[in-house]
Amino acid sequence: MSKLLMTPGPTNIPTEVQNILGQDMIHHRFDDFHKIMENLNEKLKKIFFTQNDVYTMTCSGTGVMETAVVNLFSKGEKVAIVNVGNFGKRFVQICKVYGLNVIELEYNWGETYNINDIKKVISENNDLKGIFVTHSETSTGVLNNIKAIGELTKNSDILLIVDVISGMIVNEFRFDEWNVDCAVAGSQKGFLLPPGIAFVSISDKAKKALYKSDLPKFYFDLKVTIKYYNEKKETPWTPAIPIIRAAEVACDLLLKEGIENIQIKHTKLRKYVEDEVQKLGFKLFVKNPEARGNTLVTVYREDNLDLTKLRDYIDNEYNITIAGGQGKYNGKILRFGCLGLLTIQDFNNLFKKIKKYIEENN
């Protein structure tokens, strides 16, 4: 039996995509690969809802997070970072490593940001160069309102940089309409792909900053990436060829179903999971319904049930993997991923097993 991944990434991969991953290798400096790259870019633009090119890089999501930092800013420049969990904190860590002047807007895990805090930062800092925010905070299940921040930055020189690594596909995201300046995404979440490649798109406003940045970069130099794509439809460094080929097929599947239709389906799935887990005695970690995203449902309990033992039992006995907490919530929460091919039937099957475990161990 194959392992069923009910986590917020990586996800199980459709057969059509698996078949491409197993094909014979091609070379990345020849026309067949060039055509794949060009076709993939056009499909990604539809998924990002942008007229800008979407560049494919061989790295993890953290790699494109670092790409956004080192390409759009210079040492000592002031940026604000919305931190509502583990991955908002990661932006803080990256920016500090590269010597940026960081204003950290930190919130309790399970909460979204306060728009008035962002308005205050903008009004009090005329030298603010950028705002970083996570779309879907994978460590908590919070979905941040990106559009509202874009309304604040659209007529300014402030860049809006968004991590949509786990938010893309299953939650609404519109690059152009929401006035986003840089968005970074990863293959292993909503894209139905294995880990290994990531995507980045930048606005015209961000491109101006690109050529002013003085932060060190080599592998992650977007100027080189853009040059290679524009001139050759290639990547500057050896890419993950099988995953890029599979990405073209995965995008076909997503676009055929329709991005809006996928979001409707996953909204229904997420709400169903929320209702059913509460029947099992779990509490929802994200209290504000407006801040709950479709990527995952995060829960906790008020009794003494050992959640780590529950996860291990479900994984070892049934080959079903669910995610636990990160950081200070390790062992204290469960994170049920709602990405990819998962269905209500899959969750019904899981919840029967969890109910049996709770009855026998609580």
Domain that holds residue 193: 15-256
**pLDDT > 90? residue 76:** yes
Query: 237 and 263: one domain?
Result: no
Backbone angles phi, psi at 70, to 5 degrees: -75, -20
3-state secondary structure at position 274: helix
3-state secondary structure at position 272: helix
Q: What is the pLDDT of residue 272?
A: 98
Q: Could you read off the pLDDT of 311-357 as tens digits, one per residue?
A: 999 999 999 999 999 999 999 999 999 999 999 999 999 999 999 99
Q: What is the pLDDT of residue 240?
A: 98
The tokens 């029967």 sit on which residue?
Answer: 352
Chain center to CA of 95: 18
Among residues 206, 237, 256, which one ends one of the domains?
256
Ligand-binding site membership of 301 (annotated): no
Q: What is the pLDDT of residue 202?
A: 98
Q: Could you read off the pLDDT of 251-303 as tens digits, one per residue?
A: 999 999 999 999 999 999 999 999 999 999 999 999 999 999 999 999 999 99
Query: 152 and 276: one domain?
Result: no
Query: 250 and 266: one domain?
Result: no
Q: Could you read off the pLDDT of 89-148 as tens digits, one per residue?
A: 999 999 999 999 999 999 999 999 999 999 999 999 999 999 999 999 999 999 999 999
- DSSP symbols for 101-167: EEEEEE--TT----HHHHHHHHHH-TTEEEEEEESEETTTTEE--HHHHHHHHTTSS-EEEEE-TTT
How far apart are alpha carbons 341 and 6 in whole angstroms? 10
For the segment 14-33, the average pLDDT, to the nearest whole number, is 96
For the chain, how many structural domains are there in total? Answer: 2
Q: Could you read off the pLDDT of 44-63 as tens digits, one per residue?
A: 999 999 999 999 999 999 99
Q: What is the pLDDT of residue 2?
A: 86
How far apart are alpha carbons 314 and 322 in whole angstroms? 8
CATH of the domain at 131: 3.40.640.10
Query: 158 and 247: one domain?
Result: yes
Q: Could you read off the pLDDT of 152-171 as tens digits, one per residue?
A: 999 999 999 999 999 999 99
**pLDDT > 80? residue 20:** yes
| CA 275, 280, 286, 292 torsion-angle sign | negative
CATH of the domain at 344: 3.90.1150.10
Query: 127 and 267: one domain?
Result: no
How far apart are alpha carbons 32 and 24 in whole angstroms? 13
CA dist 194 to 183, 241, 268, Å? 20, 12, 25
Question: Cβ(201)–Cβ(183) under 8 Å?
Answer: yes
pLDDT level of residue 362 (50, 70, 90 thresholds): confident
Query: 110 and 217: one domain?
Result: yes
- Record the tokens describing residue 149, joined without a space: 């921040």
Among residues 209, 237, 256, which one ends one of the domains?
256
Q: Could you read off the pLDDT of 33-44 as tens digits, one per residue?
A: 999 999 999 999
How far apart are alpha carbons 1 and 341 in whole angstroms? 16
The half-sphere exposure of 332 on its side-chain side, counting CA atoms within 13 A, is: 10
CA dist 24 to 19, 27, 235, 245, 249, Å? 11, 10, 20, 11, 16
Q: What separation, in Å, do the N-terminal and C-terminal C-alpha atoms of the chain show?
A: 29
Q: DSSP class of residue 104?
A: E
Query: 248 and 328: one domain?
Result: no
**pLDDT > 70? residue 228:** yes
Question: Cβ(357)–Cβ(313) under 8 Å?
Answer: yes
- Record the tokens describing residue 146, joined without a space: 């990106």
Query: If we measure between CA atoms, which residue out of 182, 198, 186 comes closest to residue 8?
Result: 186
Fill in the amino acid letter for 319. N
Query: 206 and 144: one domain?
Result: yes
Query: 146 and 24: one domain?
Result: yes
Query: 283 and 244: one domain?
Result: no
Query: 302 and 328: one domain?
Result: yes
Backbone angles phi, psi at 170, to 5 degrees: -85, -15
Helices 115-124 and 146-153, interaxial angle, to 10°?
20
Q: What is the pLDDT of residue 224?
A: 98
**pLDDT > 70? residue 1:** no
Query: 252 and 268: one domain?
Result: no
Q: DSSP class of residue 292?
A: B
Among residues 231, 256, 281, which one ends one of the domains?
256
